[in-house]
Every structure is written in structure tokens, then in C-alpha cells.
Amino acid sequence: MPVLELLAPAKNVLMAKTAVNHGADAVYMGGTAFGARQNACNSLSDIQQAVQYAHQYHAKVYVTLNTILYDNELEQARKMAFDLYDIGADALIIQDMSLLSMSLPPIALHASTQMHNADVQKIKHYRQWGLSRVILARELSLEQIRFIHQECDMDLECFVHGALCVCYSGQCYLSYSMGNRSANRGACAQPCRLEYELLDAGAGTVMPPGHYLSLKDMNRKHYIAQMAAAGVRSFKIEGRLKDEYYVANVVSAYRKQLDALLEDMPHLYSKASLGKVNFDFEPDEGKTFNRGFTSYFIRGSREKTANFFTPKSMGKYLGKIDRCTPATFHVDTEASIANGDGLCWVNAQGKLEGMSVNKVQNNHVFKHKDLKVEKGLSVYRNYDIAYLNVLKRERTVRKIPINIAVSESNRQYHITLTDEAGNSSCEVIDLTGMEKAKNESMARNNIVTQLSKSSDSVFETVKVDVSVPELYFIPMSLLNNARRNLFEKHAEKLSECYVRPLPRPKNKDMGLNMHLNYKANVSNKAAKHFYESQGAIVDEMAVECTHNLAGKEVMRTKYCLRYELNACLLSQNAKKLPSSLCLRYKEHVFDLDFDCSRCEMTLRKRQQCD
């Protein structure tokens, strides 16, 4: 039966524990280096803490080792793989093919989305090379995912929530072209979030400056069932740089969605880890950081995916301004605006404005700075003080449901604990010298009450069944001690019976009959040798090695700026924009090309600014 996994980001140990507590079946986090997020590194000791915490729920920890590597880093990466295996990590998420030529520990390998995983044949090669999971490109539709699932014997992982890169992952050289900060080395400066000028070929302004490459955030919460039916087995939330409140809220929202699917279709899917989350709040992913939401091509059709106004969080839509005075404005909304909230809106000039609320009465907001607000403006709340306080106070807990059965044999009470997965442990109370209970009802209630307590353990007792021929009076201290011993014994059993995923065996391939250019991101001799051993010819090393982007695409994307501006070249509105366009940020100019046969847009950097 297919197992469905909710995979959450973890910047550090705190985030890992927060994600697990709120229902993650697995977390992914960076190691000491090479993790594609330079500001999300963790020591081996910290990762080990996360592993030990997650494994008690049979949840997994995957470690990102998904940057391209230089020759002088290969030994460090190899040693890191062994260190991570030794502390119990469940899998490595990789990009650089040099790792496949090394002698690695028996740890599962996942193909990072940085490898631009959209092609069936490419994914079939991964299987032969020993990778057990592929993290698919975000741009794929349900039908494309289904086709890959049918054609490839691979565990499929897909992003479902969080920030979107405008470019195909692993194929973006925009940051490197502008400031030598490589996205494939974990140092992306996020130039796609900057404000650009849109110009025609003659450098004439076409549109006012805007964030023309900045996308909304992904939200596929309501596509979980369809994605599972298409073959997705791991649902991934982006956000290794987000805070603990984002992790708690978003993971909880998707946990509830996934649990509903598992409850509706127990004959089709099963859980990936142990435990049930008892939520202490109502999750709402719209109330934490977001730039607006998009389902991003999952339906196979285009939708407006950009947010030209800001790369910052816009939060949740509240309502429209319906009344204005020189000192106040009123928002027509069913929600209650509170002191401490942050509000924002797009003004008449197309710029995002906002303010923190210092005084409000019945949704009449008092302005404390010079702001030109007008009737009809849409208002968003990007800082919800009341909801943040809920998140700060919430005490969501995750417990493993257990049943306890008490039976008697050879003048002993056998107390057997069985968890939701069928694992069991037993503790014995010797009845020698015990007196029979004078009040059987009281004695039974005493046994049930004491064995039902779970205190600070990871267990939650659902039922205590006392099926004995005779009831004895058992001292409360003896019952409590038996319960504690039983819980400790079962926690140890769960750790002992936990089995890490095994790596897929490698097979000879030799079927990679192709020429590879800079987009293959080959940055070391070992990766080059690996590709060549599989039948490929490496014509060009990575741009991080050659430092040569002259005449090359710095970005290819399924996102189309002309479509966003209602001027698709295949529509009647094509003439709304000049046929030749470019984007400019300071001295950097990028010519836009539109490949309508593939419905893609490309950026090439001009070598000299006009």
C-alpha cells in the first residue's frame, strides 16, 4: 500500500522538533556545508538531536548535500556522508554526480530538484544509478507527474507549498551573472525579487518599474488528493529559512489535509510515521508569510503567477476600504483589526504601501503617517498580532496512541501495551502477597486510572482493558512504576525496531548518449568522469568553473512575462507590447526571448549596457 509522507523544512533543531510535533513525517535540513542554503547549516550534534527526536515517532531526517562541488571539496563531502550516516540520517539529498562515483555508506540518495527533474528518461537513469527518490520540478502538471509515475519505478516527491524560484531549479545563473553568487552553490542573492525596468529594444520604457520576475508563493493544499492519485508519495513544504511559527502553522495545515485523505481512503494509502497530532489552534497558512498564492501549473494550464508589487509578504486579504477621512479609513471586513496588526495595500501608483496599526476602533484605522488611501483599495493583513500570539501560546502535542491490556497468569498481572502499528511491550506485576480487592469496582478504576496517565511521554492511552479472573488491590505506586517502566521499555523498542531506508542498488547504465553543456552543472573531475562513464560527452564545465556566460541563457522559465501582462505572442493582444523586450536593473540588462513552441521565456545578459 502506498505510504504518504509530509516533508517539512527545518532550519535548525528547534524547527525540526516543531515540524515533527505538528505532524511532519520527515524533515529536511542542512548539514555543516553543501546544503544549498548557506544560512541554514547545522552541526552533526544538532542533526543527531533532530534524528533522535524524529525517530521516536518513526519520522525521518533527510540532509541536504545538494550543491555542486569543486575538486578540493570532494573528500569533505564524502566524509560528511559517512558522518551523517553514523548519526542516523535517513537519506542524503544530492545534486552533484561526483557522489555517485564515490564509495558511500549504505544510505538512501534522493535526486534534488536542483537537478531539474522533468524528463522521464533522465529519471530512469537515476534509478539505474542507485537513487531511490526524485524530487520533481515544480513546473510539472498532474498529467506529467502521472506519466513519470507510470514509467519510472521511483519514489516521487513534489513541492506543495512555499516560495517559488522563477527559473527551472538548477538552471538559474541570474545571481551568478549579477554578482558571482551561485544558486548552485547555495549562495543565491535572489535577484528575481528585485525591481526591474521593462524596456523595448531601444531602451525606451514600456512599463513602470516592477518586480517582474517575482512569483507568488505555491499553495497546493487542495490538490493533495489529486497529487497522491497521480503518484506523489512525499509532499514537500519549502521554507528552511522561515521561523518556527511559519513551520508550525503550515505543517499543521497540511497535516490536517493529509489526515483527511488518509481517513477517507484507508484502503488506498497508509501513514508514514507514528503518532496523532492534537492541535491546539486552527491552522491557516494564509496568516503567515506569503506573497499571495498560486497552484503553479499543477492543472496543466496557465494562471497569473507573479506579484509585481512586492517580494515581501502581503499576508491575507481583509477587505476593501469603503470610507475615508483625513485621519482614518474604514475596512469593510468581517475580521477584527487589532492594535499591532500590519496592513498593506497597492496604491494608485502600483506601489505597495502599509502601516502598523497603533489605534483602531471598529475597523476604523487611525493613520499615524502621511498615507494616500482611497476608497476601493484592497487591504491585506501581513502581520496578524492576534494569530501570532495564538501561535506563541499554542501547545500542540503529538502522541502515539496505545492500548493497554491487563491479563493474569501464574499469579502475575501482565500489562501489555500495543501501539497503532501493532508493536507491543509487556510489564509484569507479581501478585504474591497481594490481597484480593474488597471493592472490585474501586480496584478496577484504580488500575485504569493509573495506567491511563501519559504525563510527558510520547504515548497517549486510548483504552485500558482489564480482563482478569480476580481483582487484587495494587498500590498506586506500584502501578505508576509499572506504567513508567512499560513506557520506557516501549520507547526503546520503537528505537530498536526503526529501520532506515535502504539505498537502491546500482546497475550499469551506459545509456546516456548525449552532449552536456554548462547546464549540466559539472564542476569537478569526478562528476565529469561519472557522466563519461555513462556514455555522455561533457562539452562544457559549469559556469562556476569557466566564469563564462557570454551569449548564454542565464534563465529559462515556464513563467512568461508577456502572458502576465496580457500580451501573449499567440494571442490577439500581442501588439500591446513591443516584439523585443528587455529587463534592466542598474547596469544589468537582460534580453527576453519567448520560445512559444515550448511556452517558455529566456533571459540573456547583454555584455554591455546600452
Note whether 29 and 66 are within 8 A (CB): no
Angle (nearest 5°) at CA 165 between 160 and 168: 95
> Which amino acid belongs to residue 361?
Q
Note whether 92 and 63 are within 8 A (CB): yes
Residue 6: Cβ within 10 Å count: 27
Note whether 591 and 607 are within 8 A (CB): no
So what's the pLDDT on residue 608?
59
First to last CA, the chain: 60
Return the C-alpha cell found at 608: 554591455
Return the C-alpha cell found at 33: 556545508
Strand partners, 585: 588
Q: What structural domains and CATH numbers belong to the chain?
A: 3-164+219-279 (3.20.20.380), 293-393 (no CATH), 400-497 (no CATH)
Cβ contacts of 544-550, under 8 Å, gap ≥ 24 = 544/68, 544/176, 544/182, 544/184, 544/185, 545/70, 546/518, 548/518, 549/173, 549/176, 549/177, 549/605, 550/607
The series of mean pLDDT values per 10 residues for the chain, 610 residues long, is 97 97 98 82 96 97 97 97 97 97 96 96 95 98 98 96 96 96 94 96 86 98 98 97 96 98 96 96 96 96 94 96 94 97 92 94 91 92 97 95 95 96 95 90 94 91 94 92 96 93 86 94 97 95 93 95 96 94 95 95 79
Note whether 81 and 63 are within 8 A (CB): no
Cβ contacts of 410-413, under 8 Å, gap ≥ 24 = 413/468, 413/472, 413/474
Closest C-alpha to 218, from 284, 145, 162: 162
Cβ contacts of 537-543, under 8 Å, gap ≥ 24 = 539/515, 540/516, 542/68, 542/184, 542/518, 543/173, 543/176, 543/518
Write the DSSP string, 210-221.
Answer: E-TT-B-EEE-G
3-state SS string for 495-563: HHHCCCCCCCCCCCCCCCCCEECHHHCCCCHHHHHHHHHCCCEECCCCHHHHCCCCCCEEEEECCCHHH
Return the C-alpha cell found at 93: 539529498
Measure the CA–CA gap between 341 and 383, rounded to whole angstroms. Answer: 5
Measure the CA–CA gap between 291 and 293, rounded to whole angstroms. Answer: 7
Note whether 374 and 324 are within 8 A (CB): yes
Note whether 208 and 191 are within 8 A (CB): no
Count the alpha carbons within 13 Å of 11 in the hemisphere toward its beta carbon: 14
> Which amino acid belongs to residue 480?
N
Return the C-alpha cell found at 59: 519520522
So what's the pLDDT on residue 447?
94
Residue 176: Cβ within 10 Å count: 23
| CA 134 distance to own-chain centroid | 15
| Cβ neighbours of residue 195 closer than 8 Å, sequence gap 6 or more | 209, 210, 211, 585
Residue 142: Cβ within 10 Å count: 18
So what's the pLDDT on residue 610?
43
Measure the CA–CA gap between 351 and 329, rounded to whole angstroms. Answer: 19
